[in-house]
Amino acid sequence: MKKTSLVAIPIVLFSLLVIFLFKGLFSDPRELDSQVKDKTLPAFSLPDLMQPDVTYTPEDLKGKVTILNVWGVWCVTCAVEMPYLTQLKNEQDVHIVGLYFDQDLDPDFGTKTLSRVQQEVTEMLSRYGNPYAYNIFDVYRDTSLDLGVTGAPEHFVIDANGVIRMHHIGDINERVWNTKVGPLYNKLVAQAAKTQGADAHTEVNAVMSDDKSAQGGLQ
């Protein structure tokens, strides 16, 4: 009996190991829960990539549903998805903001001037299309790290209140848009429009009420 138990222990451990490896092998890393989902954007103050005198903060990403796209010219998959993202911008008015970082600005990878980065970005956008309303320059990659970014491309769907509602790892293609990202984006846009409409209606009622009060005071 004791001998049978000793034999069974390695078998059980091996079975558990196989199950663990099987789940890891066939799980989709893009479906992993994000540490920033349903949270507001981390604090940052970063320059515009092409106009460094312009500075952006999380407040600039409020008021409109946004897809924040982490990318770089060194990212091959970013180039692959860029034409489709540009199509979404042009045909469906999808609001996309770039969060750009460049590995060659890291001392571990060498050095590169800002003008060189801007030149490479301009060339890439001219070749593959420009889906961006603007690009935020994550110079030291601090914001990307705060967002839990592990590579590029990665996408964050942000609602009109500045809350991250989805973190998608990998490219956005037609299938991903139609089945995953697009439905949520469109839902958030509809919700934002409804909220803004209700706010506008409230403001109109308030103005009309003030006018009536003023007229009553004149009588």
- Here the tokens at position 4 are 């049978």
- Please check whether residue 91 lies inside any domain of the structure: yes
Confidence bin at 160 (pLDDT 50/70/90): very high
Number of domains in the chain: 1
- Are 156 and 162 in contact by the 8 Å Cβ rule? The answer is no
- Please check whether residue 54 lies inside any domain of the structure: yes
- The structure's pTM equals 0.77
- Please check whether residue 24 lies inside any domain of the structure: no
Angle between helical axes of 114-128 and 76-92 (0-180°, round to 10)? 60
CA-CA distance, 117 to 112, in Å (whole number)? 7
CA-CA distance, 11 to 122, in Å (whole number)? 59
DSSP label at residue 33: P
What is the span of the domain harbouring residue 125? 29-214
- Please check whether residue 131 lies inside any domain of the structure: yes
pLDDT tens per residue across span 177-209: 999 999 999 999 999 999 887 655 555 555 555
Amino acid at site 170: G
CA-CA distance, 68 to 146, in Å (whole number)? 14
pLDDT tens per residue across span 76-103: 999 999 999 999 999 999 999 999 988 7
- Please check whether residue 35 lies inside any domain of the structure: yes
- Are 122 and 132 in contact by the 8 Å Cβ rule? The answer is no
CATH number, residue 49: 3.40.30.10
- Please check whether residue 219 lies inside any domain of the structure: no
pLDDT tens per residue across span 45-80: 999 999 999 999 999 999 999 999 999 999 999 999
- Please check whether residue 12 lies inside any domain of the structure: no
